[in-house]
Structure 1
Amino acid sequence: MRVAIAGAGAVGRSVAQELVANGHDVLLIDKSPAAIRRESVREAEWLLADACELSSLTEAQLQRCDVVIAATGDDKANLVASLLAKTEFGVPRTVARVNHPSNEWLFGEGWGVDVAVSTPRLMAALVEEAVAVGDLVRLFTFGQSSTNLVELTMPADSPLIGTRVGSVPWPERVVLVAILRDGTPLTPDPDRALESGDELLFVTPDDQEAEISALLSPRP
């Protein structure tokens, strides 16, 4: 997979290192000469250019990319880079960093953003996930589909403790993707029984989150 990253700061370089380690081709783009630190990610390509300029993205041959990640510290730049990538170069997938939570509402289909990553929201979700038992916690939102990755830790008084996964009347359009048990990820096999303390990960539309909660952790 070929990935272009707009913004070669600490965030962009860290993402590039992970992607290179996983065998992907990475291009880092930044307009600041000080950010061009080739020794930090030697396997990546580097381009000194402004990712908000159409001519720069043409030079980068963005049409060859499978994913563009807008990872600068400027929300305006991330929006423009995402929009150009999607509308001018037909990049299949765009991921944009949200620096200021008040701008999060802008990061959607209208600006060419498929997935918006907000660090404050992720941190809050991880804190909730670590301490909440029986409460549904939204971990991630997929940009264009109104679909979320959510987590629920099975409380000891859940009526479905001991029930086989395949016997649970899951709500329509809800997909159980993994079970975390004692720190170990397990596949949601139909014959696997649910246990107290299991962390269940679902992909679900917004309008069915309440049904998951009512099913697994009913409240008076």
Structure 2
Amino acid sequence: MKELTREVGGRTKIAVHSRDDSIDPVGACVGLKGSRVQAVVSELGGERIDIVPWHPDPEIFARRALAPARVAKVISDPRRQVITAIVDEDQLSLAIGRNGQNVRLASQLIGWQIDLYGSREWLERGSDMSVFVEDEEDSYETADFPLTELSLDRATLGALGAAGYRSFLDIIDLDRGDFLAVEGITEEAVDQLLELIDDLTVVDSDAARGGDAPLGAKGGPG
């Protein structure tokens, strides 16, 4: 384990690394079918745990730390230790997290301030539109996490898996009708799934900001 930051009772982000290239550090921590991380989650009363691969490059690390959101572009200012992260509009609430928790913990994890912009605001500011043209150097994958990390019963996990839904990003855009169309999913399970998605993605009014100030969080604890 390289870095860890936590808001007790809410969410923890952990960055892990292995010196052996043949070992997947995230998979080793999650365990078979999420068994290891789920045991810890249970001990913590259902507290969310994000495990991401550590990287020495702050731009790559920032992308991973903002998981499960997909980041379109990051720009770093090493002198000020500030990361500017731009995400598509459909990823903005996920990147911010509930009450700003995701971006705040990501900032603490990497030790740099993260200024977060949605694509619309970024373009309205007259900033470079080319950030949304994918190139190989910036096409890093954002870490996802399996549904087994969520507090779902076996029947629900089995039904979702049979329908091809195995990770959080697979279900994040589904609505009630989509879930009810999955064979074997109960109304109670749908309510639980929608609540989980809401908890992980909805931004309360306290997380909003006015003017041209970016959504951001200071690095470091506190």
Asked whether the two chains share a fold, i.e. TM above 0.5, the reply is no
Higher strand share: 1
Higher helix share: 2
From the CA coordinates, give the structure whose radius of gyration is larger: 1
Q: Which has the higher contact order (CA 8 A, sep 6+)?
A: 2
